[in-house]
Amino acid sequence: MIHTPFRRSAAAFAIVAPLLAACGQSQPPAAPPPPAVTVAKPIERGVTDQDEYVGRFVAVDSVEVRARVSGYLDKIHFRDGQLVKQGDLLFTIDKRPFQNAVDQARGALAQAKANLAFTQTDLDRAKQLVRDHTITEQAFDQRTQAFRSAQASVAANEAAVRQAELDLEFTELRAPVAGRIGDRRVSPGNLVTGGTAGNTTLLATIVSLDPIRFEFTMDEASYLRYERFSRSGKEVTGREGGVVVGLKLLDEKGFDHRGYMDFVDNVIDRSSGTIRGRAVFSNPDGVLIPGMFGRIRVPGSPTYQALLVPDAAIGTEQVRKFVLVIDANNTAVQKYVTLGPVIDDNLRVIRDGIAADDRIVVNGLMRVRPGQKVTPQEQGAGPSGPQAKNQQ
């Protein structure tokens, strides 16, 4: 007889053996499908390289308001910091002394004219008397001299009247330019020193706002490059003006302000090796003010045809840059590229390394390795290639 434990082991073996045989005959798991990536051909477009510089805004007109006559300040006709128009009344100096000077000058002129009329009459009578030999030639010459002196007196008094009236007019200080005025420097009741000397009293300052200039400095190498292009007939940043430039402020992301170059200096600074450039921008809302910092972008080359790809399609391998190109067999191929600047729409200029008909991986770069099969999908289209059915 067979022992009971032995019979149990044999029965267990009979049950497990078919299961082991079935496992040995099972198929390996299916390989995952190739990763799906988005591809697109490079965009071919006319591109102009841009150079960026930091600079400051400066006013086209900046005027220090000073009196031309001395006197006591009577009234102030503006609020500190307000916008003023050309010709607006700003300050008034006490007019009474100057009005008195005008009245006195006019009185003296009237007296001089009366004296001139008397000497004119006396000279006319003397002409007749000298013809009749009633008076001598010497007496006639004396009357002629008196008439000429009266004429000179009238001319001098007329000049005095004009000067007195001009001084009276200068008691009203008006805005010489349109712009924004600063704060008053003198309060009413104070003595204001006027004239043309250097010790005149500063009353306020006005700066024009629209248009406004932006000054920056460029290095000598950039200046030479611009001049080479200009002399070859390819205007970049010349002296004649009209070259369009872009500008952004410290809190802005894009170069949305548009202006034009209007000046390049005639000397290079010996201490810094830079030369000053200037652009003009419209400023209708007055946001741009003198002294404000900004960053300007000027054309750095003539327009040329370039290939552009999204900046996100650029990969980095240590210090080298590359893109992944999908060949005819839907295999990823690594191509090293030479990069240019980033332009609008976050597109990167590729100076060398790709062709216009290459299919560049623009989405899914991190899921693919060089030499790997992929399922390409044209940007804006459905999957393409032999693996498209596996994704359905």
- DSSP readout, 26-57? PPPPPPPPPPEEEEEPPEEEEE--EEEEEEEE
Q: Is 89 contained in some domain?
A: no
Q: Is 293 contained in some domain?
A: yes
Instruction: Classify the C-alpha dihedral 145-151-155-160 as positive or negative.
Output: positive
Model confidence at 382, pLDDT cuts 50, 70, 90, reads very low
How do residues 40-62 score in pLDDT, each as one tens digit?
999 898 888 888 999 999 999 99
391 contacts 376 by C-beta, under 8 angstroms: no
Q: Is 179 contained in some domain?
A: no
Q: Is 225 contained in some domain?
A: yes
How do residues 340-375 score in pLDDT, each as one tens digit?
888 877 888 998 888 889 999 988 888 888 888 888
Please count the other Cβ atoms lying within 10 Å of the Cβ belonging to residue 168: 18
CA distance 296 to 235: 18
My answer on whether 248 and 291 are in the same domain is yes
CA distance 385 to 51: 43
Cα 269–chain centre separation: 22
Tokens for 203, please give them.
Answer: 């009353």
My answer on whether 342 and 289 are in the same domain is no
Query: What pairs with residue 326 in β-bridges?
Result: 332
pLDDT at residue 24 is higher than 60 = no
My answer on whether 314 and 379 are in the same domain is yes
How many domains does the chain divide into? 3
Between 12 and 391, residue with greater pLDDT: 12
The residue segments making up the domain with residue 253 are 51-60+211-299
My answer on whether 295 and 220 are in the same domain is yes
My answer on whether 218 and 166 are in the same domain is no
Domain endpoint, select from 238, 265, 299: 299
CA distance 367 to 364: 5
Q: Is 85 contained in some domain?
A: no
